Amino acid sequence: MNNYLPEVVFSGIVSVRDRLLQLDNPLRLESGEPSFDTPSHITEAMVRALADKETHYAPSTGIKPLKEAVLRKIARRNKIDYVKNPNHVLIVNGGMHGLYCAFQTILNQGDEVIVPRPNWTATAWMIRLAGGQTVFCDLKPEREYRWDPAELESKVTPRTKAILINTPHNPTGGVMQREDLKALLDVAAKHDLWVISDEAYEDVIYDHEHVSVASLAKEYPSKVQAKIISCYTFSKSYAMTGWRLGYVVCPNDEFVNQIKKMILYTINGVSTATQFAGVAALDGPQDAVHAMCAEYRKRRDLLFEGVNSSPLMSCETPPGGAFYLYARITEEWSGSAWELVNHLIDTYAMGAVPGDIFYDTQKSIRFSYACSTEMIEMAIERLNSTVQVK
Ligand SMILES: Cc1ncc(COP(=O)(O)O)c(C=O)c1O
């Protein structure tokens, strides 16, 4: 057996989901699955591609029309206008696959990656599978879950290879501001580090503009630009979780030459017809993306108020992006975060995820509001009906 795999575990979110699915009408506030369907012009593009017999092998790093659509999109939406070469775009099997391949490509045994804490569970395991070590740097509610640059730099050691960022952030909903990203780039440039930017929630953002770290690198030397790996997915923006489509952008020939092998020997390319759907998503109307975001904003406001009206939890500021609300558990609840989650499942058939899953050392809980508004309303009603304080 491989040495790493036995120590890698499935996310605790799976155990919450499995228990909920045994109940009648569970409220799925544990899951990051959009309640919306993929916009029909995207689905139709795939059907058309199949009818046009786009059923053959595609180049393993992606079809040219999709790479070109990505270049247009990153210039328009992300302001990364200095990447112009389609070879610097790699089409992958979803956000997770892009991140996995990126870590495999840059890490050697024992290399350290600075990662926010709390953080989406999968990242630490992907780093481990690539032989790397995770070094956590805390995100704190009093700083709206944005890093303190001095604290970030204090985590750099001679073994540090990369910094991972995820903005908007899962699980806190925190959004990094332009000045945070500039400070981070200064640290990366000074210590010659890679920056891996997970932008899975770029379109689920409420009160600020999404800033891509690579867009700020224009003012830095090209060797800094060449060490920024921007990872994107169609999953959340276009409600395309089941399609498994994403892309990685990095203006670095050597990186591209190596990551190509990871893509070739893991998937040998994303399904051809799916890639044509991706072209329609990026080049087509973005109304559905904006409409979904507007709906998430309403759900956020609803849940923010609902959670804060429970004596068991408190969330200081409304999350600025993604579709998660992260709350501290108050002293009214003397048990652990896991016990509170179990209580919500057993008493209210309601899902949530304990902060422990995200490596948090404080007693916290994450609710997702990607589920329907009706589910959120019912969850709030149940939370406020008979609060049983442990
Ligand atoms: C922070 C973050 N990054 C990346 C992903 C990957 O998404 P996918 O593999 O569905 O594209 C997710 C999924 O939940 C996520 O939460």
Q: Which two tokens stand for residue 214?
A: 């690579």
> How high is the pLDDT of residue 11?
82
> How high is the pLDDT of residue 383?
86
> How high is the pLDDT of residue 385?
78
Q: For the domain with range 5-38+288-383, which CATH number is right: 3.40.50.11540, 3.30.1490.20, 3.40.30.10, 3.90.1150.10?
A: 3.90.1150.10
The alpha carbon dihedral of 327, 128, 186, 214 has a sign of negative
Mutate to test the pocket of ligand 1, among 99, 103, 170 (most ligand atoms within 8 A of CB): 170
> How high is the pLDDT of residue 386?
57
> How high is the pLDDT of residue 7?
87
pTM here is: 0.96
> How high is the pLDDT of residue 3?
83
Angstrom distance (rounded) from CA 27 to CA 328: 20
CA-proximal residue: ligand 1, atom 14 (nearest): 32
Mutate to test the pocket of ligand 1, among 235, 241, 244 (most ligand atoms within 8 A of CB): 235
> How high is the pLDDT of residue 387?
55
The C-alpha angle with vertex 247 and arms to 102 and 236, in degrees rounded to 5, equals 110
Spell out, as residue ranges, where the chain has pLDDT lower than 70: 386-390
CA-proximal residue: ligand 1, atom 8 (nearest): 95
Domain 57-283 - what CATH class? alpha beta
- Centre of ligand 1 from the C-alpha of residue 246, in Å: 10
- Centre of ligand 1 from the C-alpha of residue 331, in Å: 32
The C-alpha angle with vertex 198 and arms to 196 and 201, in degrees rounded to 5, equals 165
- 240 contacts: CB under 8 Å, gap ≥ 6: 38, 42, 234, 277, 281
- Domain extents for the chain? 5-38+288-383, 57-283
